[in-house]
Structure 1
Amino acid sequence: MPSLPTIVLVDDAAEVRSLVRLQLRLAGLGEVVGEGADGRDAVVLAAQWSPDVMLLDVSMPDLDGLGALPQVLEASPRTRVVMYSGFTDPALAEEAVRRGAVSFVQKSTDLDALVGEVRRLLPGEQPAAAPDAVPGAEDHDPRAAARELEQHVERFAGVFDDAAIGMATLTLQGRLVRANSALARVLGRESADVVGNHYPEVVRSGGDADGRLTAALERATRGDDDVVEVEHRYRGSHLRTTFSPVRDQRGRPLYVFAQCQDVTRQRQAEDQLRQAERRFRLLVEAVEDYAIFMLDPTGHIASWNSGAQRSKGWTAEEIVGQHFRVFYPVEVARSGHPEHELMLALRDGSYHEEGWRVRRDGSRFWAHVTITAVHDEEGHHIGFAKVTRDNSERHRLLEEQERYARALAEANERLERANHQLAAAAEDQAQFLAVTAHELRTPVSVLSMSGRTLGEHWRELDESERDEILEGMETSSARLQRLLGDLLTTSRIQASTLDLRLEDVELAAALAPTVDELRRVHVGAELRLEVEAGTRVRADPGRLAQVIENLVANAVKHGAPPITIRALAVEHSVEIEVRDAGEGVPVELLPRLFERFTSRGAGGTGLGLHIVRELSRAQGGDAWYDPVRTAFVVRLPASGPP
């Protein structure tokens, strides 16, 4: 018999490869001779097998599909490459074909198009016959479920496309695979013109000569930082670009989420503010009610203005070159106080005081004095600026000015706080979108494609294959439920709308059902509950169970069995320990362990431990990690017997 056509699958998601391999076998299209997880695997497999068809994902770690495509075709010119991706930008498909792919297929919710492309490309293949009806299909339509899931994905994509801030998804090599219309407006380009190109190259054409943008992107793609921000010029505008790496379950960067804003108006406003400050200083210097003059570094008068002559009585010819102690009463001058003022001004930057001063005719007046150390552009001390005002007649005006100065300082401080809050909110939004998009894509795809496969090929599948698909669906469903629960709890915590029903709880009885359920979910985790009967706490039973579930899930993911839950009475509280046999938390992660979006490199939203701490605090307790005990500890208020 003639040999079957050869096919190679390259996708970083093992679940997707499993479904595609199964679908191809059911369709009888060819033999899958090799599978890979990134672009480098694709090049090696192309050289090894020279397959008839290669199915190549776009977004993968190390080397993405677009980058690997030319190398695959060079290693095996006869291979016809079908690019497929969850990204739906038409410009991405055009770029893939331009680079040598025979076609581009979406993989987000349907495998029919992908299998159909393989059927079209393989010689001698005929259209597949329609599958037999599945008993019970009228009760559960997987197509309807797939359509509903697809609508959810489309709504999420709509948030990305309609955002007012420029957003893009980049491969780890910096190549744009998706860009929204806001980014196209910022860059003054069409989305189709930038997709498939390297982001630094797109911006460099507008003036990224100093390379700061390139360096920032390299830091993000290496995963050095969770958020990397850089400001750069582009065609005369000031842009601020933020890069956030999105990681896989092992903590490796998969792709980069980019956010770009035009801050030109903000910079112009800052320049206008600086100009206004300069004009204000000139205005103050021109007011004759102020004596404003310069001192050299030793305190000798170097300049004199009309306000100084009016308030003190000396002309410039008479006073320039004398030491400024001449303005102080004799007893104050002899004490060395003038020199002490200069020392403090040089140390602190400026010095302020009110006190008696002397005019040329010997009369005294009560003055407000400001001495400011002056440095040149290179930081060298060149003298002092001294401002003196006669408060004898203008005391009321001075009080108003001081009141206005305080109000201005408070307004500036409020503006700065608001700016920090806006910046923090922007980082949270970018991180939230990146984490949510990453966490949704794989389980949604697995659920929809698994349901379709079961619905159309139930009779053709053997029992082990059906069990494998159903197990994948159960895992993906649980993953979506955990994501939704974590996001909902975090949202309520942030909005201070968390509903708590505190009551006296007998700890052993309350935790037993939770531990039994956790043993069922985490098979092989070897859970131990060591809580003495009669130990009671004041808590919300449902939220207490959520805390324990999150800590056990964390131990299963990052630790080693057995996992022990123990309770200890401490003064008027009860400490609940969750400990595993693993190596513990790395020291470098401890300072931000309970912050939002902190991940230990195994996927997830990074919200679990944050929720543990906030729920514990909301119930009157706290949560922390004790490196001495190598255990996570939750402290809750103790309660007496009922």
Structure 2
Amino acid sequence: MSTEMSPQTTTGTNAGPQGKPRVVIIDDTADLRDLLRLALQRGGLEVVGEAADGRAGIDLVRETLPDLVLLDLSMPVLDGMTALPEIRALVPAAKIVVLSGFDALQLAERAVAAGADAYLQKGMPLHRMLARIREVMEGRAAPAAPSPGTVPPARYDALALAPFGVLEVDGIPPYRVISLNASARDLLPAGTGPGTPLPVASPALAELLATSTRLDDGPFDARIGEQDSQVTVRSTPGSHYLYFEPRGDEVGVLRTAIATTAHEIRGPVAVLSALAETISEASSEVPLDDEQQLRLVASIARQARMLDSITSDLLTAAQIQRGALRVAPTITDPRSVVETTVDDRHLDRTVRLEVMDIRKVVADPLRLGQMLGNLLGNAHKYGRPPVVVRIRAAGEDGMVAIDVEDAGDGVPSEFRDQLFREFTRASGTSAAGTGLGLHVVQTLALAQDGRVDYTAADGGGSVFTITLPAAD
């Protein structure tokens, strides 16, 4: 296992023929970057570099000065919306096309209003993405952002029937109410209607809009009327939509769980669809070479394992609820399980393993791999490299500890007592998740006579520690 970190940027070293548009891809999904690179190169464009986050992307654009930038909006370190103005200033004549998820179209529209030339929805067929990019490069009209405050009437009808509160306010303080549905009226003070200043209707929501810098990340916690509620904000160029429902509503919790799980599943499914399209459309005139085929096959395996991880957590959560959870502890080498998990997830260039205790543990190796996979996944979603897995003696006799440490911002102190609850995520996190991973880790640890703990790392970051019985 390598001890080196994966580079944040990759710069093309073989320049294509002069006259080809030069492209930089900025997206935190390596398999999607690979597919886009292949599609663009086969379509006659030259990919001069890739980056996995907005900060590295800005540096890469400064270095390469491309003609086209493909910019993901949701990324770690620095998101695409924040990086957009600086990228536009570096390459004022370049075309910038933002990449949006299925549920981020309003954010994409805001990016267009802020200077992007167009947006592409992730999951659309690659040939359509390439055709859209050609249109943008040829200067054909890009989709305009909607006029401030305008939403198709059908959408208002749907929102009016929603079983949770929906409130639209304008984009300028004091954020006057534009519209609200019946569920929102039930939670807000009597008389709240179009024209009401948001501080009058809900001081908590007004403060949220005024002080939060990453509104589209959500969800946030806020006191609305007499209820503790969970709030999600979606912004358009001229207004903000606030979606909220009281906490403790089991149906609401289930809706949130379904939505976040669907979001997690759609990413791998979109990449797998694009992989299938790429392989099926490879012609005898432009065949895939051996290296490209191997990379695509590796991508299929990686995305399939991501889906397997999500479904494994769902199944485990269901077993926990039914009292049907089973584990099969045996004498297990934790180092071997760590190495297998890291290799399966293709994280060998971003994870450092430190073995300070060579004892084996009594644990179910498959369940231990599931636990480590969840913790490593969280470290890469919510933290920053370097990620270190450390096997050491625990503080008490007869126990072995396995630390998973990252160098991110750590878990907010106000959220730490909720970390291991089912279907919970910290407010304002920039990555999606099912809210099941840590709950599953804790339950599996307890089922194997162990435990899992969280501590803040020295200098920032998170340390999650699995403690298990030693085998000798």
* TM-score interval, smaller chain: 0.5 to 0.7
2:307 aligned partner, one-letter code = L
Instruction: Note the aligned Cα RMSD (angstroms).
Output: 5.4
8 Å CA contact retained: 1:176, 1:199: no
Q: Could you say what secondary structure the match of 2:452 adopts? A: strand
Q: Residue 479 of structure 1 corresponds to which residue in structure 2?
A: 306
Higher relative contact order (CA 8 A, sep 6+): 2
Cα pair 2:384 2:406 within 8 Å, conserved? no
Rg comparison, structure with higher value: 1
- In the alignment, the residues of structure 2 paired with residue 598 and residue 241 of structure 1 have an alpha-carbon distance, to the nearest angstrom, of 14
1:471–1:185 CA distance, 2 compared to 1 (3 A): same
Aligned residue number for residue 203 of structure 1 = 180
Structure 1 position 565, deviation (Å): 1.5
Structure 2 CA distance, aligned partners of 1:515 and 1:465? Answer: 29
Aligned length: 378
Tell whether the 8 Å contact from 2:392 to 2:401 is kept in structure 1 after alignment: yes
In the alignment, the residues of structure 2 paired with residue 118 and residue 631 of structure 1 have an alpha-carbon distance, to the nearest angstrom, of: 42
Query: Is contact 2:357–2:391 with CA below 8 Å preserved after alignment?
Result: yes
Match of 1:492 in 2: 319
Structure 2 CA distance for aligned equivalents of residues 64 and 628 of structure 1 = 33
- Partners of 1:583 and 1:3 lie apart in 2 by 41
Structure 1: runs of 5 or more not aligned: 74-80, 86-106, 126-170, 233-237, 247-255, 262-418
Aligned to 1:454: 279
Equivalent residue for 2:108, pick from 62, 65, 69: 65
Question: Equivalent of 1:108, from 116, 120, 123?
Answer: 123
Deviation of the 1:110 alpha carbon: 0.9
Query: Is the CA contact (8 Å cut-off) linking 1:241 and 1:258 kept in structure 2?
Result: no
Query: Equivalents in 1 of 2:310, 2:29: separation in Å?
Result: 20
Deviation at residue 456 of structure 1 after TM alignment: 1.3
SS at match of 1:565: strand
Structure 1 partner of 2:39: 23
1:591 aligns with 2:417: yes
> Take 1:517 and 1:587, find their aligned partners in 2: how far apart are those partners?
31
Equivalent residue number for residue 84 of structure 1 = 120
Percentage identity across paired residues of the two chains: 23
Paired residue for 1:518, among 341, 355, 359?
A: 341
Alignment gaps of 5+ in structure 2: 1-16, 48-65, 72-79, 141-145, 182-191, 235-239
State whether residues 243 and 257 of structure 1, in contact with CA within 8 Å, keep that contact through their aligned partners in structure 2: no
* Aligned match of 1:34: 68
- Retained in 2: the 8 A contact 1:43–1:71? no
Shift of 1:257: 9.1
1:485, distance to aligned residue in structure 2 (A): 1.8
Structure 2 partner of 1:183: 159
1:436 offset after TM fit, Å? 2.2
Structure having the higher helix fraction is 1
User: Does structure 2 conserve the Cα–Cα contact (< 8 Å) formed by 1:515 and 1:529?
Assistant: no
1:568–1:575: 8 Å Cα contact kept in structure 2?
Answer: yes
Alpha-carbon distance change, 11 to 203 in structure 1, aligned in 2, over 3 angstroms? farther
Q: Which amino acid aligns with 1:546?
A: Q
Aligned to 2:366: 542
Amino acid of the structure 1 residue aligned with 2:367? R
TM-score, normalised by the number of residues in structure 2: 0.59
Partner residue in 2 for 1:315: none
Structure 2 CA distance for partners of 1:240 and 1:617, relative to 1, 3 Å: closer
Give the one of 265, 270, 281 matched to 1:445: 270
Cα distance change on mapping 1:20 and 1:258 into 2, 3 Å: farther
Alpha-carbon separation, structure 2, partners of 1:429 and 1:121: 41
Query: Which residue is 2:206 aligned to?
Result: 215
- Cα distance in 2 between the residues matched to 1:623 and 1:446: 33
1:423-468 CA distance string (max 9 Å, x none): 2x24533442443243233322222112211321264445555555
Q: Which amino acid aligns with 1:215?
A: A
Residues 217, 4 of structure 1: alpha-carbon distance in 2 compared, 3 angstrom cutoff: farther
